[in-house]
């Protein structure tokens, strides 16, 4: 079925795996196997592979670090292209350049080591740079929009690379121009940072990580916060007040440590997670008249 793709991958020396389990590539550790799992070595290779997959009519999904993705229990009947090899980071002056597959924690550490301030909030966020830009990720009073100066993306519809600057990203709470144009594949990002004191930056990052460890169930697989924060409410507080802390569907459980998280206690399936999310949304809506918006992406 994928003879044309495999021939191209072999000729171009692009790594791939047949029937790769997606539990190995998502933080929730859930999902069946992908027919083909491809790991391009650079942006040009990624563009070429993606373009060929689409022209050949194959179903294709581009995956970062899988921190908010749940694949079907039946797997992905198509091709998954991973950005995990596109992870280079470099610093020139006060500008940090990162490829889409670099981890958000990785760039926070690189900035710290260069005594540059502005990315402390990113320390401990498990996603990729591409995913963080896509959703304007943030924590502890900081967010991507505070320091992102430029991003580069491949637009497969127009078959060209698109540069986006500053306010043109149309950032909002957990949204960006990329969320409005999901066909675009983020390739890289540039962050404008400020000179700072290494010890002060490190202390802030250590403080943030300490707070994460004390309040979040980092010892279990999860996708982080399940829902966006509705205006005027805190999801964890509502879920806890409804007595749902520790509530389980199969191996999926509302964390007893933080009710805004769903964790994989062991053997959780995508259907378990989806059912639990549905129960939470229904009960919160009935009790508070609040329609929760899920941040977790379910991929069939």
- The residues annotated with a catalytic role in the active site are 174, 225, 295
Residue 18 belongs to what H/E stretch?
strand 16-21
| Cα distance between residue 171 and residue 12, in whole Å | 37
Q: Write the Ramachandran bin of 246: left for phi over 0, alpha for psi from -120 to 50, otherwise beta.
A: left
| Cα distance between residue 169 and residue 143, in whole Å | 13
| Cα distance between residue 204 and residue 122, in whole Å | 11
Residue 62 belongs to what H/E stretch?
strand 60-63
| Cα distance between residue 277 and residue 275, in whole Å | 5
> How many CB atoms neighbour CB 125 within 10 A?
24
Cite the beta strand spans of 128-235 per DSSP E. Answer: 138-139, 142-143, 148-155, 160-165, 185-192, 194-195, 222-225
Nearest Cα neighbor of 124 from 232, 7, 205, 8 is: 205
Residue 296 DSSP class: P
């Amino acid at each position: 079925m994928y003879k044309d793709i495999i021939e191209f991958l072999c000729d171009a020396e692009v790594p791939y795996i047949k029937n790769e389990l997606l539990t190995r590539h998502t933080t929730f550790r859930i999902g069946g196997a992908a027919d083909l799992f491809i790991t391009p070595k650079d942006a040009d290779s990624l563009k070429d592979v993606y373009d060929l997959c689409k022209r050949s009519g194959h179903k294709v999904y581009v995956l970062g670090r899988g921190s908010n993705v749940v694949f079907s229990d039946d797997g992905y009947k198509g091709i998954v292209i991973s950005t995990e090899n596109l992870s280079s980071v470099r610093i020139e002056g006060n500008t940090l350049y990162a490829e889409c597959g670099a981890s958000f924690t990785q760039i926070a550490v690189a900035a710290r080591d260069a005594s540059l301030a502005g990315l402390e909030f990113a320390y401990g966020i498990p996603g990729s740079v591409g995913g963080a830009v896509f959703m304007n990720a943030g924590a502890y009073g900081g967010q991507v929009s505070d320091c992102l100066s430029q991003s580069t993306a491949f637009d497969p519809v127009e078959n060209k690379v698109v540069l986006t600057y500053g306010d043109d990203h149309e950032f909002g709470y957990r949204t960006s121009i990329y969320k409005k144009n999901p066909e675009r594949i983020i390739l890289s990002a540039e962050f404008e940072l400020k000179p700072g004191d290494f010890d002060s930056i490190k202390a802030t990052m250590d403080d943030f990580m300490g707070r994460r460890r004390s309040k979040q169930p980092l010892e279990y697989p999860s996708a982080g916060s399940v829902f966006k924060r509705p205006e005027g409410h805190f999801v964890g507080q509502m879920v806890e007040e409804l007595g749902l802390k520790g509530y389980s569907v199969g191996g999926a459980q509302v964390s007893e440590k933080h009710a805004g998280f769903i964790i994989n206690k062991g053997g959780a399936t995508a259907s378990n997670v989806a059912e639990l999310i549905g129960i939470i949304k229904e009960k919160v809506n009935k009790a508070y008249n609040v329609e929760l918006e899920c941040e977790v992406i379910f991929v069939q």
